[in-house]
Amino acid sequence: MINRRQFTLGATAGAVALGSTPLTSLAATPTQNALIIDAMGEIREVYTDDLCREMIDSGLNSVTVTLCDPKSYEAQAYDWGMAGVLEYDRLIAKEPEFWLKATSVDDIGTARDQGKIALFYLFQNSTQFGHDLDNVDVFYGLGVRSSQITYNFQNWAGSGCNELSGSGLTVFGHALVEKMNDVGMLIDLSHANMKTMADTIAASNAPVIVSHSCCKALYEHNRNTTDENIRAIAEKGGLFGVTQMRPFMTLQVDDAVHYYYQHIEHAINVGGIDHVCIGSDRDHRRLTLTEEYIAELKAEEGPNFVREEWPLYFEELNGPRRMETIWDGLSRRGMSDDNLEKLFGLNLQRLYTEVIG
């Protein structure tokens, strides 16, 4: 079975148009001038040079990437975490013309000056730490700057969004939050249940992030977040990242991107413009749902694969220039350039400065 770690860096070419001609801009677009940061997105080893250049040309400056399959526990989680760090370190070393490993906010500026994309490292679970807080120091030393508390189910720290009980942050979870605050590792509450999320927001001395979710008030889904927690995140100075995972917003496939804009606008109405960002959780290739790709997805997802939920993407956002599309779409809906700049990058720059340094 293909796990998320293997799939992220080594997906086959049959799913996508890898050799498509880049759409080089003839004139500077707003996203090329603004700071553009994706709070959680995908970078894959199979990206062609043309695709990477098109991502950079679209104005993308930084992406926080998931290091490994989060569906692991104990020794396996630690080993996969180590392997994930090494895989991305190798990718960056192999393609230094495109990527720069980021461990501080200054690295975003460096990458921008050099025409590269800064990559921050994220774990989508805390199981790689096991029950040993010293492992937070270990992974921080390797460049990891963010970690989720949970991924869907129960672990040592708390309860995920798919658990049946409403249990929240555990005793160990409180200690983990304190440790992450101390070292300057950003706490991500994506995939947590609402009780764990609320407990962690209250327990943390530093602002936290939900890097990729949607609004439960607009669409009932386990991965979506209540207005109460969006508001609490904002009140503590944190950020709510709106994901581009279509099934979190609608089962409608065609002409559905307006649902995405509605979730961004709702989050801003609840938390304020200073506390919302974009966390795509999406590939940058132009995907095509071929039979080969469907078979690959089934192998990766196993019993979690639900054909009715695919494609996960909105067709309008299917490709490396999606940030330009989103900017233009929200602008047409009345969002000012100042607010767009906050949403697309300035809010994340502020949060990373406060927490990561």
**C-alpha to C-alpha distance for 249 and 116, rounded to whole angstroms:** 32
Q: What is the dihedral of CA 246, 212, 150, 42, to 10 degrees?
A: 90
**C-alpha to C-alpha distance for 204 and 13, rounded to whole angstroms:** 42
In whole angstroms, how far apart are CA 48 and each of 51, 98, 166, 284? 5, 11, 44, 11
Report the amino acid identity of residue 229: N
Residue numbers in the chain where pLDDT is lower than 70 = 1-28
277-330 confidence digits (pLDDT tens)? 999 999 999 988 888 878 877 887 777 777 778 888 999 999 999 999 999 999
> What confidence score (pLDDT) does residue 10 get?
44
What is the average pLDDT value for the chain, to the nearest integer? 91
Cβ neighbours, 10 Å, residue 10: 12
Domains of the chain, by residue range, sit at 4-13+25-355
> What confidence score (pLDDT) does residue 305 get?
77
Q: Check: CB of residue 210 under 8 Å from CB of residue 197.
A: yes
Q: What is the CATH number of domain 4-13+25-355?
A: 3.20.20.140
> What confidence score (pLDDT) does residue 291 get?
85
Q: What angle do CA 63, 208, 167 make, to 5 degrees?
A: 120
Report the amino acid identity of residue 326: I
> What confidence score (pLDDT) does residue 28 get?
64
Provide the token pair at 303: 């019993």
DSSP conformation letters of 112-170: HHTT-EEEEEEES-SGGGTT-THHHHHHHHTTEEEEES-BSB--SS--BTT-SS-----
Helical H segments across 209-342, by residue range: 227-235, 257-271, 291-301, 322-332, 337-341
In whole angstroms, how far apart are CA 121 and each of 41, 64, 141, 307, 356? 11, 6, 12, 30, 12
* 165-199 burial code (b ≥16 CB/10 A, e <16): eeebbbebbbebbebbbeeebbbbbbbbbbbbbbb
